[in-house]
Amino acid sequence: NAGVMQNPRHLVRRRGQEARLRCSPMKGHSHVYWYRQLPEEGLKFMVYLQKENIIDESGMPKERFSAEFPKEGPSILRIQQVVRGDSAAYFCASSPGRGAGGYTFGSGTRLTVV
Protein backbone atom coordinates (compact mmCIF):
# COMPACT_ATOMS: atom_id res chain seq x y z
CA ASN A 1 0.00 0.00 0.00
CA ALA A 2 1.93 2.97 -1.27
CA GLY A 3 1.84 6.15 0.74
CA VAL A 4 0.91 9.57 -0.50
CA MET A 5 2.80 10.13 -3.73
CA GLN A 6 3.84 13.59 -4.81
CA ASN A 7 5.62 14.57 -7.95
CA PRO A 8 7.81 16.05 -8.98
CA ARG A 9 10.05 16.04 -5.91
CA HIS A 10 11.84 19.13 -7.11
CA LEU A 11 10.59 21.73 -9.54
CA VAL A 12 12.43 24.76 -10.86
CA ARG A 13 10.49 27.46 -12.64
CA ARG A 14 11.40 30.87 -13.97
CA ARG A 15 9.37 33.84 -12.84
CA GLY A 16 6.15 34.05 -14.82
CA GLN A 17 5.95 30.36 -15.64
CA GLU A 18 3.34 27.92 -14.39
CA ALA A 19 3.94 25.24 -11.78
CA ARG A 20 1.82 22.09 -11.55
CA LEU A 21 2.20 19.91 -8.50
CA ARG A 22 0.60 16.49 -8.36
CA CYS A 23 -0.57 14.40 -5.44
CA SER A 24 -1.92 10.87 -5.46
CA PRO A 25 -3.55 10.03 -2.13
CA MET A 26 -3.18 6.75 -0.33
CA LYS A 27 -5.40 3.98 -1.58
CA GLY A 28 -8.79 4.30 0.00
CA HIS A 29 -8.32 7.95 0.95
CA SER A 30 -10.73 10.39 -0.63
CA HIS A 31 -9.77 13.52 1.32
CA VAL A 32 -6.78 15.58 0.22
CA TYR A 33 -5.13 18.57 1.87
CA TRP A 34 -2.39 20.85 0.60
CA TYR A 35 0.01 22.66 2.91
CA ARG A 36 2.87 25.05 2.19
CA GLN A 37 6.10 25.24 4.16
CA LEU A 38 8.41 28.20 3.88
CA PRO A 39 12.07 27.70 4.92
CA GLU A 40 12.38 27.16 8.67
CA GLU A 41 8.65 27.55 9.18
CA GLY A 42 5.84 25.23 10.10
CA LEU A 43 3.34 24.02 7.54
CA LYS A 44 0.39 26.24 6.70
CA PHE A 45 -2.94 24.98 5.46
CA MET A 46 -3.91 25.93 1.92
CA VAL A 47 -6.84 23.86 0.69
CA TYR A 48 -8.97 20.81 1.42
CA LEU A 49 -10.55 18.80 -1.36
CA GLN A 50 -12.65 15.74 -1.85
CA LYS A 51 -13.23 14.11 -5.20
CA GLU A 52 -14.45 16.78 -7.61
CA ASN A 53 -15.10 19.24 -4.78
CA ILE A 54 -13.17 22.02 -3.10
CA ILE A 55 -14.29 21.98 0.52
CA ASP A 56 -12.17 24.76 1.97
CA GLU A 57 -9.69 26.97 0.14
CA SER A 58 -9.42 29.60 2.83
CA GLY A 59 -5.65 29.23 3.10
CA MET A 60 -4.94 29.62 -0.57
CA PRO A 61 -3.96 32.97 -2.12
CA LYS A 62 -6.86 34.43 -4.07
CA GLU A 63 -4.86 34.96 -7.23
CA ARG A 64 -2.66 32.65 -9.30
CA PHE A 65 -3.32 29.56 -7.14
CA SER A 66 -5.87 26.88 -7.88
CA ALA A 67 -6.44 23.28 -6.88
CA GLU A 68 -8.47 20.39 -8.17
CA PHE A 69 -9.11 16.76 -7.35
CA PRO A 70 -10.79 15.19 -10.37
CA LYS A 71 -12.84 12.03 -10.37
CA GLU A 72 -9.96 10.21 -11.99
CA GLY A 73 -6.30 11.00 -11.42
CA PRO A 74 -4.26 12.89 -8.89
CA SER A 75 -4.99 16.14 -7.13
CA ILE A 76 -3.29 19.09 -8.82
CA LEU A 77 -2.06 22.30 -7.23
CA ARG A 78 -1.50 24.86 -9.93
CA ILE A 79 0.41 28.09 -9.53
CA GLN A 80 0.27 30.49 -12.44
CA GLN A 81 2.83 33.22 -13.16
CA VAL A 82 5.10 32.13 -10.33
CA VAL A 83 7.06 34.68 -8.33
CA ARG A 84 10.11 34.25 -6.09
CA GLY A 85 7.89 34.28 -3.01
CA ASP A 86 6.22 31.08 -4.18
CA SER A 87 9.46 29.18 -3.53
CA ALA A 88 8.58 26.71 -0.80
CA ALA A 89 7.91 23.07 -0.07
CA TYR A 90 4.37 22.02 -0.87
CA PHE A 91 3.02 19.04 1.00
CA CYS A 92 -0.03 17.02 0.31
CA ALA A 93 -1.77 14.86 2.91
CA SER A 94 -4.64 12.46 2.57
CA SER A 95 -7.05 10.86 5.00
CA PRO A 96 -9.77 8.23 4.79
CA GLY A 97 -12.31 10.56 6.34
CA ARG A 98 -12.74 14.15 7.27
CA GLY A 99 -10.50 15.03 10.18
CA ALA A 100 -6.90 15.67 11.03
CA GLY A 101 -6.41 12.47 12.96
CA GLY A 102 -5.98 10.29 9.92
CA TYR A 103 -3.51 12.44 7.99
CA THR A 104 -0.66 10.88 6.05
CA PHE A 105 1.73 13.33 4.45
CA GLY A 106 3.63 12.91 1.22
CA SER A 107 7.30 13.79 0.81
CA GLY A 108 6.51 17.12 -0.76
CA THR A 109 7.44 19.07 -3.86
CA ARG A 110 10.14 21.64 -3.45
CA LEU A 111 9.45 24.54 -5.77
CA THR A 112 12.24 26.94 -6.58
CA VAL A 113 11.47 30.05 -8.60
CA VAL A 114 14.48 31.61 -10.26
Partner 1 sequence: GENVGLHLPTLSVQEGDNSIINCAYSNSASDYFIWYKQESGKGPQFIIDIRSNMDKRQGQRVTVLLNKTVKHLSLQIAATQPGDSAVYFCAENISPGAGSYQLTFGKGTKLSVIP
Question: What residues make contact with partner 1 under the rule CB under 8 A?
Answer: 4, 31, 33, 35, 40-45, 48, 55-56, 59, 91, 93, 95, 98-101, 103-108
Which residues on adjacent β-strands are paired with residue 81? none
What number of other Cβ atoms are within 10 A of residue 18's Cβ? 11
Tell me the closest approach of the beta carbon of residue 104 to partner 1, in angstroms.
8
User: Smallest distance from the beta carbon of 111 to partner 1, in angstroms?
Assistant: 14
Determine the 3-state secondary structure of 60 from DSSP: coil
Q: Beta partners for 25?
A: none
Ramachandran angles phi, psi of 51, nearest 5°: -50, 120
Q: In the complex, what is the shortest distance from the CB of residue 109 to partner 1, in angstroms, rounded to a whole number?
A: 10
Nearer CB in complex with partner 1: 17/105: 105
Within 8 A by CB and 6+ apart from 63, the residues are none
For partner 1, give the closer residue by CB, 55 or 76. 55
By beta-carbon proximity to partner 1, the closer residue of 49 and 82 is: 49
